[in-house]
Structure 1
Amino acid sequence: MSRTWPPQPQPLDVRVMNGLATLLFVAAALAVVGAAASWVVRQPLFALRDVVLRGEVERQNAAAVHAQVVNRLVGSFFTVDLVQARDVFESLPWVRRAVVRRAFPDGMEVELQEHQAAALWGEPDKSTLVNTHGEVFEASLGDVEGENLLHLDGPNGSAAEVLRMSRVLKPVLEGGLKQPLQSLALSVHGGWHARMGSGARIDIGRGTDEQLVARVQRFVDTFAQAGAKYGRTRSDFIETADLRYADGYALKLVGVTTGDGKKTGRK
């Protein structure tokens, strides 16, 4: 009866050589695959050519956007950095948010959300606006010419609060004075100042929403009575009004002076 002996293990040096050969083969195969992939992604077929805009594009058009971003997008369909591409689109005027996706084989789909202008913001000579979310952004003021936007101003970081307060005070002022609110400003000390369409300046002062509304409501309800003895009952005769008094307000009316030569009125 024959006897079977178990196979003898290969010597250590042979096993090491076989392992190295396998590793070299795998590395070579990966290098070939990598080179082939690199060659494929660099082919003109996959160069970015087409930009499709979706979403809110009222102030944008594909041709203008393509012209502004084509030289700023780096890479092909496969290699383009979508975060960098998003930043490029969000740097365009009027763009608030951009969501960027690849569109095979050579395109890009971009979902845009545009700023909705709520008011002008800051110094009159600056191209800054505030959107409906209370965010300040830059755009050409010519784009909103004729829209009769309210002008807001305040310290840095206060745009959302000033916009909110304009929504609180605007209906009270316009409803009582029968003329448009032209501007509303918040001072660094927290005081509110309004200017109406006639040019009248109204110093409202500081306080809670309820205190400010009550102060303005008292004024619009009684200014005609205060001006009646001067024949000035319409709001367009108001030059200035200072509502920062606990027991009333100071009123200056156009063309009215008292006996001592001072323009005045106190309610």
Structure 2
Amino acid sequence: MSQLPALQKLRKNVHLLMGLTFLLCLLGLLAFAVVELNIWLEDEQQAPVQDIVVSGELTFINDKNIEMLIKRTQPGSFFELDVNQTHQAVEAMPWVYRASVRKRWPSGLEIFVVEQQPSAIWNGDMLLNQYGDAFDARISSADLNSKITLPNLYGPGGSEQTALQGYRNMQSLLETSNLYIVELFLSERFAWNVELNNGIKLNLGRTEFVDRLQRFVDLLPLILQQDRQVDYVDLRYDTGLAVGWKSIEKAA
């Protein structure tokens, strides 16, 4: 009878050992499964990004360039792809103004792009978008001829929005006369000078430049009645204007 407690204790220890062994095996299998799953998820061949859909009104951006950018900067699987990094990479493209990126189960990526709308060439080597923000992008002569005609604006750093708004205000006055601004110069002292498509240069000064331009538009028919070609018109007067005529050699 004295051996019974010892036997029960032994059986209890055996059951405990078996339970512990089973638990350790279960934990080992679970850890193995997690490792294998992680390897599978990170394996591009197992879960690649198969479909990249780019949407938005695009003129200067090629969908293929965005796809190549994503595959170059995010070479991993669909599950490993970092949406925030992809978003930053797409928005860093010169012609992208804003972008949104989201995953689409099970292997797709949706990208919506708001493109920069070029409004002017800035200081000969940059572009201004529709909001007067400068961005560094290249635009070919073919694009200018077939898609859009851009004026050349020049001015000191930080005056981009001022120059673009001034251009828009002046161009709205000139449209009734079939004229448009080819080049606009805004000096360090914020004096306005423009050159029109007919070759006439206008000196508008620093203040009341819109009113002065209106004076030019009103007097233009009278000026053009002269049998000489206009070189420049100086409008920096409270009333009236001064006209510079091209020489015979220059006119020819």
Q: So what's the TM-score if we normalise by structure 2? A: 0.75
CA RMSD, Structure 1 to Structure 2 (Å): 2.8
Whole-Å separation in 1 of the counterparts to 2:29 and 2:165: 64
TM superposition shift of 1:252: 0.3
Aligned to 2:118: 117
1:249 aligns with 2:241: yes
Aligned to 1:160: 161
Change (3 A) 1:27 1:181: same
* 2:184 aligned partner, one-letter code: L
Whole-Å separation in 2 of the counterparts to 1:133 and 1:30: 56
1:144 aligns with 2:143: yes
Deviation per CA, 1:119-148, whole angstroms, max 9, x where unpaired?
22212xx2x221212222233221632132
Change (3 A) 1:227 1:133: closer
Whole-Å separation in 1 of the counterparts to 2:29 and 2:39: 15
Whole-Å separation in 1 of the counterparts to 2:105 and 2:60: 27
Deviation per CA, 1:188-241, whole angstroms, max 9, x where unpaired?
11111111012221111112xxx222111122222444565x534xxxx22111
TM superposition shift of 1:45: 2.3
* 1:179 aligned partner, one-letter code: L
Aligned to 1:262: none
Whole-Å separation in 1 of the counterparts to 2:67 and 2:234: 53
Aligned to 1:238: 230
Aligned to 2:182: 182
Aligned to 1:221: 218
1:133 aligns with 2:134: no
Whole-Å separation in 2 of the counterparts to 1:45 and 1:212: 65
Whole-Å separation in 2 of the counterparts to 1:227 and 1:71: 60
In the TM superposition, 1:177-216 aligns within 5 A as: 178-207=178-207, 211-216=208-213
TM superposition shift of 1:90: 1.9
Aligned length: 222
SS, match of residue 87 in structure 1:
helix
Residue pair 1:241, 1:252 contacting (<8 A) in 2 also? yes
Change (3 A) 1:86 1:166: same
Aligned to 2:173: 172
Aligned to 2:54: 53
Specify every segment of 5 or more residues in structure 1 that has no aligned partner in the other structure, as ranges: 1-20, 257-267
TM superposition shift of 1:113: 0.9
Whole-Å separation in 2 of the counterparts to 1:253 and 1:175: 24
